[in-house]
Every structure is written in structure tokens, then in C-alpha cells.
Amino acid sequence: DGPSTGGRPPARLAFDAAGGAVLVANLGQSRGQLAVCDLAGTILGRADADLPPGRLPEVALPALVEQWTALLGECGLDASAVRGAGIGAPDPADFDLWDTAPVAERFGVPVLLDNEVNVAALGEHRVHHPDVADLLFVKVSTGIGAGLISGGRIQRGAQRAAGELGHVPVADGPGVTCRCGNLDCVEAVAGGAALVALSSAPDLPTLVARAQEQDAEAVLLVRDAGRRLGEVIAAAVNILNPAVVILGGDLTAAYEPLVAGVREVVYRRATALATRSLRIEPSRLGELAGLTGCAAMVLDHTLAPEAVDAALTSA
């Protein structure tokens, strides 16, 4: 209830989660998903993102518009229900290439963009760790990246390039050239693409399945990848002092050998104080972390007090 000033009786407003929808998409290096959510962030409909090879933004965004429009129809909604859109994109260095005008023009709403790992970190934080102020989310899939929450807020850095954990070099590496041009980045040594190249498996899902079945080659590769990953996580723990490190991404389906390698190195190399209460855990949201975080990002903007006041004023 609003305060009474002696004039018109104060109005009582109730939040209607079904009063609109937000569009979200989380795009990794090799695959992605999109969804329609209500105003509480609940997923109403979800689909794999069917994007052209190369995922160039000027091609990917019109394709997303088409797929979102179809998904809205499947949810019994039309474009007039949309209140905002959010995209988790790979490779923050390319953000300037993501002209979101096709989305804004089609739906007439604000479009927010962030790194795919940042939104995954946000999703895990909001749903499962809301009381944790300092959290590191590490995604291990085709590539490797990290999202950092410090003081309860996503930290993006001066050029939005924070969290590029995959491009930290490991010690005594094999001399592999990373896609960034440097040698022995942890992504080039322990990322999913690197492990597939070292194994007899044709692709990452097969390698992960073999590790789950205790295939000796696959388990050895995944555990060694965990050790390499542990090197850079240990450094991050010393610098950032998170309360929780969350491991997500496709490779974490083979969680036991991966986390065994990570813990072996992190608790040996990071300082005793930084690891005294440190928890290393799997992602609880799994592949929904990015979509959930995208929805939270959009709703934080759309339902901010000033945005709500503006909507009520114009109503």
C-alpha cells in the first residue's frame, strides 16, 4: 500500500509474472540455447539455437529473431508480450560486432548483451548462492572461461574482458599454440577441443561418456585436464579469494575425475587462508545457468524501480 495523503485512496499493486515475457539466448563457441521466460524468470519454452556456421553476429541475430518469434508462438504469445531481450555471447572482444538492432527493431524492447560465462555465473548466484558475495564460475567446454561475482555483483573489467581464464598459460606446457596466438594457454591444453585432439574419441560428448564409463584413456585425460585447470584456478583463488568455485560446462559431466584433478592442485598451490573455507562445487543449473542468468539480467533492467515508475507514468 502507498502512504495516504488524504486524497485518492492508495493503490495496492500485485506483481503479475504472466504480464509479459523476456527473450533470452545463451551462445557458446560450439552450441547455444534460446528461451522465452515470464517476468519471474521461469522458462516457458526452450530450444536449441539453430545458428549458421561461424555464428557471425550479423547472421546470428536475424536467425535468433526468427527462432524467438517461432518459440513465442509455441508458448501462445506474440511480440507484443515481450518486455526485453538478453543475449549471452562468446568472446567478449567481439562485443562491438554485436549490433542488436535487428532484435530491438523486431520487438521494440531493450536488448542486453553480456559474456556467456558472466550470465551463467549470475544464474547460479541468483538461484543457488544468493548469500555468497564472492563467487567464481568456471566453464569448461570446447573452450574455457570464467565469470566473477565480487561483492555480489558481476565484475566485467575495464574493457569487459575479465574472466578470460582460458588464456592464462600453464607451466611446462607442450608448446601448443592457442587460438589467441599465445602458447600453452590452459584452454589450448585442457579445453574440450584439446582433449578430443589427444584422444581416440570423435567428439567431446563421446569423450565425456567414456570417462563416465571409467574408460582408462578418457579418465586419465579428464583428470589431467583438471590438474591443468587447477593451476589457473589456484592463481585466481589467491588473487580473488572467492567463497565458492563452481565448475560448469560440457566437460563437467565427467565431474569426478575433473574435480579430483582441480582439487589436487588448488588445495596444494593456493594459500591456506584463501582455501580455508573454499568450496569447489558442480553447477546445479547445468545447461540452464546461462539462460537463467540472461533472464535475471533483463529483469533487473526491465523491473528496476525507475523503469517501473516510467511504465506506470506512461500507462
What is the average pLDDT across 165-176?
A: 95
Whole-number pLDDT of residue 182: 96
The model carries a pTM of 0.90
* Residue 4 predicted with pLDDT over 60: no
What is the average pLDDT across 45-59?
A: 80
Which three-class secondary structure string do you get for the chain?
CCCCCCCCCCCCCCCCCCCCEEEEEEECCCCEEEEEEECCCCEEEEEECCCCCCCCHHHHHHHHHHHHHHHHHHCCCCHHHEEEEEEEECCHHHHHHCCCHHHHHHHCCCEEEEEHHHHHHHHHHHHHCCCCCCEEEEEECCCEEEEEEECCEECCCCCCCCCCHHHCECCCCCCCECCCCCECEHHHHHCHHHHHHHCCCCCHHHHHHHHHCCCHHHHHHHHHHHHHHHHHHHHHHHHHCCCEEEEECHHHHHHHHHHHHHHHHHHHHCCHHHHCCCEEEECCCHHHHHHHHHHHHHHHHHCCHHHHHHHHHHC
Residue bearing the bigger pLDDT, 18 or 224? 224
What is the average pLDDT across 36-45?
A: 96
Whole-number pLDDT of residue 54: 59
What is the average pLDDT across 49-57?
A: 73
Domain 21-109+289-314: state its class. Answer: alpha beta
Interval 78-137: pLDDT, tens: 999 999 999 998 876 567 777 888 899 999 999 999 999 999 999 999 999 999 999 999
| Domains in the chain: boundaries | 21-109+289-314, 131-284
* Residue 274 predicted with pLDDT over 90: yes
Interval 89-106: pLDDT, tens: 887 656 777 788 889 999
Interval 183-194: pLDDT, tens: 999 999 999 999
CATH superfamily ID and name for 131-284: ATPase, nucleotide binding domain (3.30.420.40)
Whole-number pLDDT of residue 309: 63
Whole-number pLDDT of residue 92: 67
Residue 117: CB atoms within 10 A of its CB come to 32
